[in-house]
Amino acid sequence: MATPSTPLKYTAVVVGAGPGGYPCAIRLAQLGVKTLCIEREYWGGVCLNVGCIPSKALITAGKRLEGLGELATMGIEIPDGPRTVDMEKLQAWKSSVVNKLTGGVRTLLKANKADTLVGQATFTGPKTLTVKTADGDVDVQAEHLVIATGSRPVEIPGFSTDDPRVLDSTKALALTKVPGRLVVIGGGYIGMEMGQMLAKLGSKVTIVEFMGSVLPGFDPEVVKLMTRKLKRQKITLFTKTRAKGWEEGDDGAIVTIQTPKGEQTLNADAILVTVGRRPNSEGLAPTGVAMERGFVTIDKQCKTNVPGVYAIGDVAGGMMLAHKATHEGEICAEVIAGHKAFNDARNVPAVVFTDPEIATAGLMEHQARDKGFTVKVGKVPYAAIGRAITTGHTEGFFKTILDAKDNRILGVTICGDHASDLISEASLAIEMDAEALDVGLTIHPHPTLGEGLMESAKAALGQAIHVVNR
């Protein structure tokens, strides 16, 4: 093991092994660059360990449990009786999913001949750092430094997650008991995903959102559909409402909220705070990188203002999504290796694993109009798609937005079953600068949900077959 007097020297050092950092390190090594990847806690980052992957595992469990109640309509009878969830077994299964993936990260790094180091990195200069490891401090020098330190949940005054009753997304994903009553502060995508999942597992859920609706910024038709869904799921929703604080009562927590109608209190066994994420950018001052609102400023090659220093993923701002971080990581590796690579992606698709799922690529309808486009819109309900009817999940719609000037696809919004699996075709179409007929005249297999995207592209042109054209 090296000592502070004999620093480790690498061509490239990546700090952080999340969905941006570890792909960057792997690609660097593939390109023949001597690379070290440093991680303090989670190989695979928040996403694989306490974010995207474990949350989707639990969301799947919730859907499967709810699906049991739908079987009777198909003539499949299940004996009456309470349906219970063994949370400890569920958590064990979730952990097995996580372990398979996180173990794979280190295996891939090693297989590609990227070195790894476990410890807390402290930046001491633009390209120097000290790593506190279990065996002592290790000094590291880099010709190229990649900052991939990610983000963490935002805390709000009066709701410290140090208290057992107050949860952030990490603590909520590790619950071994379903809270009888749950107050979710924040109706964005994380709050909606977690709130609906825990409601399916048996929690009585109340969502408190400061803005005028859940999912601020999403297509108003999506918001309307999701609001109706919450009512059917018996999830209570407060909008234009601020959470002021909480105190311990005789029967759990008492949460005080300020609603448009005045102050109210809510009883809860647990409080889940999901009001956004903030970059892990503390301690970057010695690197000299420029920052804005805590995010590192980068260009299309992931370069900062300091030569040889780069940033990728959540810490660099933009859409805080794992696949965006991965894309930046691979671009960054190509740049360090001397290739003429740039991040010129036309869109970053986004998925929300609510019920029903929501997925977007490119511009949503209101965004396109706000940017001054004259648009054509094709909307096709899931109920018009044969495959959706056979699954019993006909809630939702496909929406394709075109530039009326030349019929090029500006964006696609899908709200419905398997939206997460369907959006990639739309993302490819936008990257290829496709016209509506490029999708509309592509033969889609029948019966599949993918026909909905084809049909919505045709509907935008007034050529749909299975819905009445507007």
How far is residue 192's CA from residue 416's CA, in Å, rounded to a whole number? 15
CA–centroid distance for 170 within its chain = 14
Write 168-173 long-range contacts (CB < 8 A, 24+).
Answer: 168/272, 168/273, 168/274, 169/50, 169/51, 169/55, 169/194, 169/272, 169/274, 170/46, 170/50, 172/198, 172/272, 173/50, 173/54, 173/55, 173/58, 173/94
Which residues of the chain fall short of a pLDDT of 50? Answer: 1-4
How many helices and strands, by DSSP H and E, does the chain display? 13, 24
How far is residue 179's CA from residue 165's CA, in Å, rounded to a whole number? 10
16 and 131 in a common domain: yes
- 307 secondary structure, DSSP code: T
Query: Has residue 312 been placed in a domain?
Result: yes
Query: Has residue 466 been placed in a domain?
Result: no
305 and 241 in a common domain: no
Q: With contact defined as beta carbons under 8 Å apart, do 253 and 246 qualify? A: yes
187 and 56 in a common domain: no
Which of 184, 179, 186, 183 is closest to 201 using CA atoms? 179
Task: Supply the pLDDT for residue 3.
Answer: 47
283 and 142 in a common domain: yes
- 454 secondary structure, DSSP code: H
441 and 403 in a common domain: yes
Return the H-helix or E-strand segment holding 152: strand 151-153
Query: Has residue 345 been placed in a domain?
Result: no
283 and 266 in a common domain: no
Question: Which of 275, 298, 325 represents a domain boundary (last residue)?
Answer: 275
Half-sphere exposure of 245 (CA within 13 A, CB side): 4
Query: Has residue 89 been placed in a domain?
Result: yes
pTM for the complete prediction?
Answer: 0.95
Range of the domain at 371: 350-460
139 and 16 in a common domain: yes
Residues with catalytic roles: 446
Task: Supply the pLDDT for residue 5.
Answer: 59
Q: What pLDDT, in 10s, does the model give residues 212-263?
A: 999 999 999 999 999 999 999 999 999 999 999 999 999 999 999 999 999 9
Cis upstream peptide for 447 (omega within 30°): yes
Which of 333, 397, 347, 385 is closest to 31 using CA atoms? 333
143 and 12 in a common domain: yes
Query: Has residue 316 been placed in a domain?
Result: yes
137 and 96 in a common domain: yes
Task: Supply the pLDDT for residue 78.
Answer: 87
Which of 142, 115, 169 is closest to 320 using CA atoms? 169
All residues at 6 or more sequence positions from 65 whose CB lies less than 8 Å from its CB, including other chains: 83, 85, 200, 201
Task: Supply the pLDDT for residue 123.
Answer: 98
Q: With contact defined as beta carbons under 8 Å apart, do 459 and 400 qualify? A: yes
- Encoded tokens for 352: 């929300």
357 and 309 in a common domain: no
Query: Has residue 301 been placed in a domain?
Result: yes
Question: What's the structural domain count of the chain?
Answer: 3
b (16+ CB within 10 A) / e for 407-431: bebbbbbbbbbbbbebbebbbebbe
Task: Supply the pLDDT for residue 183.
Answer: 98
Q: In this structure, what CATH number is given to the domain that contains residue 433?
A: 3.30.390.30
Q: In this structure, what CATH number is given to the domain that contains residue 192?
A: 3.50.50.60
Task: Supply the pLDDT for residue 373.
Answer: 98
Query: Has residue 160 been placed in a domain?
Result: no
Q: What pLDDT, in 10s, does the model give residues 78-91?
A: 887 777 899 999 99
How far is residue 361's CA from residue 352's CA, in Å, rounded to a whole number? 12
Question: Which of 275, 292, 319 represents a domain boundary (last residue)?
Answer: 275
Question: Which of 275, 291, 321 represents a domain boundary (last residue)?
Answer: 275
- Encoded tokens for 94: 């979730």
Query: Has residue 392 been placed in a domain?
Result: yes
288 and 222 in a common domain: no
Which position has the token pair 């999901």?
A: 274
215 and 103 in a common domain: no
Please report the DSSP string for 57-118 in residue order: HHHHHHHHHHHHTTGGGGT----SS-----HHHHHHHHHHHHHHHHHHHHHHHHHTT-EEEE
- Residues above pLDDT 70, as percent of the chain: 99
The mean pLDDT value of the chain amounts to 96
Q: What pLDDT, in 10s, does the model give residues 311-368?
A: 999 999 999 999 999 999 999 999 999 999 999 999 999 999 999 999 999 999 999 9
How far is residue 271's CA from residue 215's CA, in Å, rounded to a whole number? 19
Q: How many residues does the chain have?
A: 470
